[in-house]
Amino acid sequence: MWHPYGAFPPSTTPLEVVGARGVRLELADGRRLIDGMSSWWAAVHGYRHPHLDAAAHAQIDRMSHVMFGGLTHEPAVRLAARLAAMAPGAGTTSALDKVFLCDSGSVAVEVAAKMAIQYQRSVGRPGRTRLATWRGGYHGDTMTPMSVCDPDGGMHAMWTGVLPAQVFASAPPTDYREDYARELTALVRAHADELAAVIVEPVVQGAGGMRFHDPAYLRDLREVCDETGVLLIFDEIATAFGRTGTLFAADHAGVAPDVMCVGKALTGGYLTLAATLATTAIADAISAGEAGGLAHGPTFMGNPLACAVAGASLDLVDEGEWRTRVPQIEAQLRDGLAPARDLPWVREVRVLGAIGVVHLDRPVDMAAVTDAVVAEGVWLRPFRDLVYTMPPLVCSDDEVAAICRAALAGARAAGPVGG
């Protein structure tokens, strides 16, 4: 079995999970761990949620899959309508009211890039084929998403020279700096004639380093993209549906992109599904272009089972309990992770919404840190120089406190001789 980013033999022995309920994973040896990772940020409602389980059972009794080419079905239609109504800019001329259903987050980014390039060709700008972004980002593991991940020091640095050469600004600062804003917008203007789009993760850079930045930079990007005719793509795969304390991270800035990618929490972690949303203007231009439509069509696009569960997940999002729970989790993470700042090998502790990060000055010893975390009854998956948590949004105060204790134990284990 070849695990993600894994070698043979693996650096840590995988733990066998035999069940999951609420926010806990049940291991084959009988231990139960609080999942502080939401299964890579997707299981925001926890496991075996009765509403999601019921939706899955009801849909599988009707049909689990049918091709989307030439056919359609109610779960997909309802899901697309709801996503369009929820997205930034809904009800305005910049509404993201065209929804393309995808298989995964990486595919959603591939589709977004295709949309941008096809759009520019359709409006008479065929030379605009490159993408711009800032360093420190992560957008997925297929070829185009890898090309807009950080090419120096990122997890895809080995692919330099193979991937398309994109345009990079320096990583965004945490606070707002006029000089950086000028650098960012000047870069877009200088390359506008070759850029199809700018793509960024709004407010939170996820697997590239779990860094946060001022939302005002998104407004700067919106203005310069409007000025130059470059499209603006927001990758909200990690941040959508309440993770940062707003429905979408873009809401912190009050701006809408031209294209937006969502995934992960879309189905509450039950099934793989993502979506790429675009404006009517983009869809109309692509449809009038030489291809006669968007040149993409995955086999499992619009899978009815996944769409039905996603609709149930959005029911829970609409209920809005996360709006009070996420600020409470944020406050607990701030207090509970603060002692890590006293460790000499900790560079920084960062918290935003239901995201808590302990940034070390050295690479994580995966075996030592994992053992320390699991000993506290919690599951975390550290990477590079980070011990971090993105817990389910339904965690109780006691469960968040346990996650904080485990993260501190992991941070201590990362120090000299186990800390």
Active site residues: 5, 138, 235, 264
Q: What sign does the dihedral 264-267-268-271 (CA atoms) show?
A: negative
Q: Which of 40, 25, 83 is nearest to 275 (CA)?
A: 83
Q: Which residues contact 316 (CB under 8 A, 6 or more apart)?
A: 45, 49, 51, 52, 268
Q: Which of 43, 32, 56, 28 is nearest to 395 (CA)?
A: 43
Q: DSSP string of 384-413?
A: TTEEEE---TT--HHHHHHHHHHHHHHHHH
Q: DSSP string of 255-293?
A: ---SEEEE-GGGGTTSS--EEEEE-HHHHHHHHTSTTSS
Q: Which residues contact 69 (CB under 8 A, 6 or more apart)?
A: 297
Residue 17 CA to residue 37 CA, distance in Å, equals 14
Three-class secondary structure of residue 195 per DSSP? strand
Q: Which residues contact 163 (CB under 8 A, 6 or more apart)?
A: 143, 146, 147, 151, 156
- How buried is residue 419: exposed, middle or buried, by Cβ count under 10 Å (0-12/13-18/19+)? middle
β-strands 355-360, 346-352 pairing: antiparallel
Three-class secondary structure of residue 352 per DSSP? strand
